Amino acid sequence: MEEKIIKDKSVVLRHSPIELVEHWILAISGFLLIFSGFGELPMYKRYMVTQIPGLGWAGDFFINLKIHYLAGIVFVSVMVFHALYHGWLGHQGLIPKKGDLKTSLVTILSMFGFGEEPKSDKYLPEQRLAYAYLGGVGFILVLTGVVKVIKNLPGVYLSPTLITSSTLIHTFATVFFLLGVLAHLAALIFKVNRPLVKSVFTGEVDLKYVKDRHTLWYNSLVGKKLEDDGKEVVKGESEAEVEKEEKDKALETVEVEKLETEKEENPMRSTIKVKGMSCQHCVMSVTKALTQLEGIKNVQVDLVKGEVQFDHPKEGTLSQIEKAIEDAGYEVVTS
């Protein structure tokens, strides 16, 4: 199941059922690993956890050990499946990118009212960093855990130094993994992050939230939807004539995404030359830039002629229109 816009529900499908199952199995098995790991120390008798109704077994070392092994097998299996499945499909959205640390800092400061949050793709920069952190710590836990298991096998001898160092690293990695999970959950304290909670349970997130915060992802989803509906195909300059025949249908689809404004009386029809437009994505960008201006109606883009036509109020000024087009990344050609 692909990520897509579901208009009748005003939501975006963010996660597939497979991704939801992965998430919850990792979360539950990870919790059991942490809980049973601390139970092996032992800690729960000392801090009277065993006095809690239903948790009397928590003080038994061998029960915790069995739970730890079983949860470990499940945790490792899902990690391997995750790597193979998403690697095979070429999913790279959660892989950290250059500048994520700086952008993440800007995003966090904006949550406290300092500055404006940068527009994001499907995943926020701090989500990619958290993914790398938890994945790296999880990998260390798996490696050191394997050493701890192998040392208990009959006929296997490992050096005391290797056993001791693996045990210490495993213990500290568990603490760092727990801190990472707590930080991940603490992000929900900020109101701006709470719409994402819905996607963890249903795989869906509100369309308005995606428009406002994940603008880059939303724009790519709009382009993909046009292609899936058969109303748009991204073409090169050599297919300009086909683009001209398809543009009216594409414009109607784009206009569904914006709010209609009150109809202007006695509008003027103007035509301007725009340089830099070469494909249907350019049509969508220019159309969106103009239709967001108050009073602008009936925008039509001709890629062959490099012209943009539109209706606007007689008392309006063309300077705002030129600025909107230039902000979208194109150049207005003046005579």
Among the candidates 158, 191, 215, a domain finishes at: 215
Whether residue 96 sits in one domain with residue 21: yes
Higher pLDDT among residues 161 and 297, named by residue: 161
Token output for 226: 């046009």
Residue 220 lies in a domain: no
Residue 124 lies in a domain: yes
Residue 17 lies in a domain: yes
Residue 234 lies in a domain: no
Residue 74 lies in a domain: yes
Whether residue 264 sits in one domain with residue 136: no
Which residues have CB under 8 Å from 115's CB, separation 6+?
A: 106, 109
Distance of CA 57 to the CA centre of its chain: 40
Whether residue 99 sits in one domain with residue 16: yes
Whichever domain contains 318, its CATH number is 3.30.70.100
Whichever domain contains 210, its CATH number is 1.20.950.20
Q: How many domains does the chain have?
A: 2
Residue 67 lies in a domain: yes
Whether residue 139 sits in one domain with residue 67: yes
- Residue 236 pLDDT greater than 50, yes or no: no
Q: In what order do the strands lie in the sheet with 307-312?
A: 297-302, 307-312, 268-275, 331-333
The pLDDT-based confidence of 253 (bands split at 50, 70, 90) is low
With 0.75 as the threshold, say if the pTM is over it: no
Which pLDDT score is estimated for 63? Answer: 92
Whether residue 158 sits in one domain with residue 31: yes
Whether residue 116 sits in one domain with residue 11: yes
- Residue 190 pLDDT greater than 90, yes or no: no
Return the amino acid letter for 199: S
Residue 260 lies in a domain: yes
The residue range of the domain holding 311 is 247-333
Whether residue 270 sits in one domain with residue 152: no
Whether residue 284 sits in one domain with residue 167: no
Which pLDDT score is estimated for 246? Answer: 60
Which residue in this structure is represented by tokens 């969508």? 284
Across 14-28, 106-120, 173-187, 314-328, least confident range: 314-328
Whether residue 252 sits in one domain with residue 187: no
pLDDT tens-digit series, residues 12-68: 888 889 999 999 999 999 999 999 988 887 788 888 989 999 998 998 999 999 999
The pLDDT-based confidence of 317 (bands split at 50, 70, 90) is low
Residue 237 lies in a domain: no
Query: Could you tell me where the DSSP H helices lie in the chain?
Result: 17-39, 61-89, 100-111, 125-150, 160-186, 195-202, 207-213, 215-228, 240-255, 280-291, 318-327
